[in-house]
């Protein structure tokens, strides 16, 4: 039996051992999905704290319960390690490491390339390697493949390489990992066949495409589409604000059209790992082909400037009570990048806090899902602890800024107990008493 047929048989019988590198918001959910259907899964991460928590049945992601992890540990279907030499015992290796931007918005593939180098040291015949991290078209074949082939094994024959972009949406209760269709590609037909069969074991639907470049471009299109449309409504928000037109009412009215319109909503800036980052991967790659990316760069500029717009609205609100930002006590409500999650990656709150502190404001925050804030990649000096939120604590602040509209907040109490409120999410739309305190941003 050749290597491909041997691995196909293992996958069909769910005897293949799955290794997942990177146990964050992408890697941990997919690892648990494979465990759920009976595969033995070994999670890899360089963060010893994460590994210790997982092996002690403790979750560090809000929407993944510790009980779930404990069940798979007890059934011996899941365990975690920092020992990358165990990669040699895996049948399939899924790469779910960060692909951030550098200081000048250039792709930072250091995590991916370091991971690929590590895999190449332990790569065995018959293994399937799948990249899930978002990246620019060509990465799988131009960057990852040469490193893996340095092991002297031949792709499509000795080992198999595929690309299948993650589509995680942290905290989304309508679409869990297993319910989201998965785009799958392979460097060769054998690679595609194996990767497609593997993901069919755990996902409701797979979408095979002709090449890794197509799959890489698909992921970028999904997020560029959102980035450009969010930039559009963010720009309209600033225009309509000058015209004294409520953008939220406009969007609600336009949404009644049953065709040709999809609502997008403004905010204080973009957050999460995908939308603020992915468009710039394509913009960078396009420069190699001397093709301008005007929409992408313009949308990035608009979205990146939204925290500055929020800052101007904070200044406007404080002026109404004869205060300046310098010396004012400002409370940020919500530090996560979106409601009801504990994910702070690229959160606009971080930029807003940084801008306020530069001007001289005394800034504190409350977020029930993020009790501590430290060790941030782009804000290494930012160390804060979530403060209590009650009537008395709200009265301590000159200004309350709603950046993340968590469902657990009592907006009427927030407005009633605050001196002024800057609302970037239209969270206070149903608040009746105290509307004179609210400034929409």
- Show which residues are catalytic: 274
Listed residue (269, 300, 6) closest to 128, CA to CA? 6
DSSP 113: H
Residue 70 CA from chain centroid, whole number: 25
Residues 6+ apart with CB under 8 A from 117: 147
**Distance of alpha carbon 394 from alpha carbon 313, whole angstroms:** 19
Q: Is 90:42 a contact under the CB 8 Å cutoff? A: yes
Among 224, 239, 13, 19, residue whose Cα is nearest residue 137: 224
Which is nearest to 352 in space by CA: 344, 368, 363, 342? 363
> Between the CA of residue 117 and those of 131, 245, 318, what are the distances in Å?
14, 55, 53
Q: What is the DSSP string of 179-229?
A: GS-EEEEESSHHHHHHHHHHHHTTSS-EEE-S-HHHHHHHHHHHHHHHHHH
In the chain, the N- to C-terminal Cα span, in Å, equals 64
Angle of helix 189-200 relative to helix 3-12, nearest 10 degrees?
Answer: 10
Using an 8 Å Cβ cutoff, are 31 and 8 in contact? no
- Strands 128-131 and 160-163, by their bridges, are parallel
Contact 103, 27 (CB under 8 A): no
């Amino acid at each position: 039996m050749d290597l491909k047929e041997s691995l196909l048989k293992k996958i069909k019988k769910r005897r293949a051992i799955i290794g997942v590198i990177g146990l964050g918001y992408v890697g941990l959910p997919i690892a648990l999905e494979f465990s759920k259907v009976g595969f033995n899964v070994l999670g890899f991460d360089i963060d010893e704290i994460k590994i210790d928590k997982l092996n002690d049945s403790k979750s560090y992601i809000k929407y993944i319960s510790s009980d779930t992890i404990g069940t798979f540990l007890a059934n011996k279907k899941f365990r975690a390690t920092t020992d990358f030499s165990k990669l040699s015992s895996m049948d399939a290796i899924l790469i779910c490491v960060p692909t951030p931007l550098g200081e000048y918005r250039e792709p930072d593939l250091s995590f991916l390339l370091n991971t690929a180098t590590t895999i190449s040291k332990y790569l065995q015949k018959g293994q399937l390697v799948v990249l899930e991290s978002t990246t620019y078209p060509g990465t799988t074949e131009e960057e990852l493949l040469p490193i893996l082939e340095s092991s002297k094994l031949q792709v499509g024959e000795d080992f198999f390489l595929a690309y299948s972009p993650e589509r995680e949406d942290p905290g989304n209760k309508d679409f869990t990992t297993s319910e989201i269709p998965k785009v799958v590609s392979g460097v060769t037909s054998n690679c595609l066949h194996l990767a497609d069969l593997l993901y069919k074991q755990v996902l409701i639907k797979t979408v095979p495409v002709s090449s890794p470049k197509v799959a890489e471009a698909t992921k970028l299109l999904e997020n560029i589409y959102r980035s450009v449309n969010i930039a559009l409504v963010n720009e309209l928000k600033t225009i309509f604000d000058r015209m004294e037109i409520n953008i939220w009412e406009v969007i609600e009215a336009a949404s009644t059209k049953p065709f040709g319109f999809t609502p997008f909503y403004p905010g204080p800036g973009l957050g999460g790992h995908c939308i603020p980052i992915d468009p710039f991967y394509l913009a960078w790659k396009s420069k190699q082909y001397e093709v301008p990316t005007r929409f992408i760069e313009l949308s990035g500029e608009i979205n990146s400037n939204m925290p500055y717009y929020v800052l101007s609205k904070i200044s406007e609100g404080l002026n109404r009570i004869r205060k300046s930002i310098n010396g004012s006590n400002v409370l940020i409500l919500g530090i996560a990048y979106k409601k009801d999650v504990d994910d702070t990656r690229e959160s606009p709150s971080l930029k807003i806090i940084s801008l306020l502190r530069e001007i001289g404001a005394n800034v504190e925050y409350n977020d029930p899902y993020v009790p501590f804030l430290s060790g941030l990649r782009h804000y290494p000096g930012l160390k804060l602890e979530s403060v209590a939120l009650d009537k008395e604590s709200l009265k301590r602040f000159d200004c309350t800024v709603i950046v993340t509209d968590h469902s657990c907040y009592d907006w009427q109490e927030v407005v009633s107990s605050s001196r002024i409120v800057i609302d970037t999410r239209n969270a206070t739309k149903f608040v009746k008493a105290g509307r004179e305190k609210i400034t929409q941003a």
